[in-house]
Amino acid sequence: MKRYALMLALPLLAACGPNGKNAPPGGGAGPGGMPPAEVEVIQVGRSSATLTPELPGRVAAVRTAQVRARVEGIVEKRLFTEGSDVRAGQPLFQLDDRTYRTAAQAAEAEVEVKRLNLKRVESLLPIKAVSQQEVDTARAALKQAEAQLAKAKLDLENTTVPAAISGRIGRAQITEGALVGRGEATLLATIEQLEPVHVLFTQPNADVLRLKGALAAGKLKAADGRSVELILENGQPYPHKGRLTFSDMSVDPSTGAITLKAEFPNPERLLLPGTFVRVRLAQAVAQDVITVPQRAVLSGPQGQFVLLVGPDNKVMPRPVKVGAMAGDRFVIEDGLAGGERMIVSGVQKAKPGSTVKPVSAKAG
């Protein structure tokens, strides 16, 4: 009986640690027996980086044309689909043209009368039946009638309102039956050219001066080319690169910023006028600097910091000083020396002082 009781006690003793206390499963993995949290890390290193400040911008159409009524009349037909692409010269609206057609016919008849009168007096001039002054007066009357006819034909032509440029037309500002053109050229619709598009953005003049100073001192090198990238409102990069086409020569006194303009292809019509975007402009190249992914830099009451993993796999916060942007990465001006293991994914599971399981982050 004693031998049987001893056999039952042996497994219980094996499950106890020193002094008879229960040992955590997994060889002392952590509090409550939980395994260390898995985090993705990269090794901090130095390299050259192209500085690309991220600047606020807004999309604008390359060309905008307002479709307006040039003559007074009642709108009979709208000849386009709202939101569709139109071509230059395409008829968009048809006005009631009966009054203008009658006026043109009357002007044609008046020209014919003046032409016959001039022919008559010219035939009488050789026999001195009329004076040269009467002939000159008849010739001037014919020219005046021809001018009236040209105006009448132009008014008749303007009863059909065409598209001034090719592009995408917005909604109609009026409906059939509306009286337009009385006293002013009534706005009927707006056409915007969406391929390509412009992006207007601003950069603080103080940043421009610092950049020029660093280039002059040899601390930075000028970037090759003036390529421009876009970040859309949803945070995704725009698939097409643009080119810088304009830099203002004056500083806006209300903002202290300089306005710049870039041109982007827009084959998929992803960029619509008025859209807010962020612009990345390659301006200079820095040598032997540390850059880290944006997601690795955290903010706290004491400022910005990153989470490092020590030799014992414990998490250590490290304050850093963030500098310029380099694509989707930050340039670190102070706080890192290179060679550190830094957490880039899983920071929410990495508490300072806790033990983690570091794995190498996937490329990109």
What pLDDT does 333 receive? 86
What pLDDT does 33 receive? 61
Contact 343, 349 (CB under 8 A): no
Q: Could you tell me if residue 28 is inside a domain? A: no
E-state strands within 135-226 = 160-162, 167-169, 179-180, 187-192, 197-204, 221-222
Please tell me whether residues 91 and 101 are part of one structural domain. no
What pLDDT does 23 receive? 41
Please tell me whether residues 163 and 146 are part of one structural domain. no
Q: Among residues 138, 158, 178, which one ends one of the domains?
A: 158
Using a 10 angstrom Cβ sphere, with 0-12 exposed, 13-18 middle and 19 or more buried, the burial of residue 219 is exposed
Please tell me whether residues 214 and 243 are part of one structural domain. yes
Query: 16: helix, coil or strand?
Result: strand
What pLDDT does 22 receive? 45
**CATH number, domain at 136?**
1.10.287.470
Q: Which amino acid is at 273?
A: P
Contact 147, 102 (CB under 8 A): no
Contact 202, 260 (CB under 8 A): yes
DSSP state of 282: -
Residue 204 to residue 55: CA distance in whole angstroms = 9
pLDDT in tens, 223-280: 765 778 898 988 888 999 888 888 888 888 888 888 889 999 999 888 999 999 998 8
Those residues whose C-beta lies under 8 Å from the C-beta of residue 66, and which sit 6 or more positions away, are 187, 189, 190, 191
Q: Which of 120-124, 134-138, 215-219, 333-337 has the lowest mean pLDDT?
A: 215-219
pLDDT in tens, 295-336: 888 888 888 999 999 889 889 999 999 888 887 888 888 888
Handedness of CA 347, 349, 350, 352 (dihedral sign): positive
**CATH number, domain at 201?**
2.40.30.170
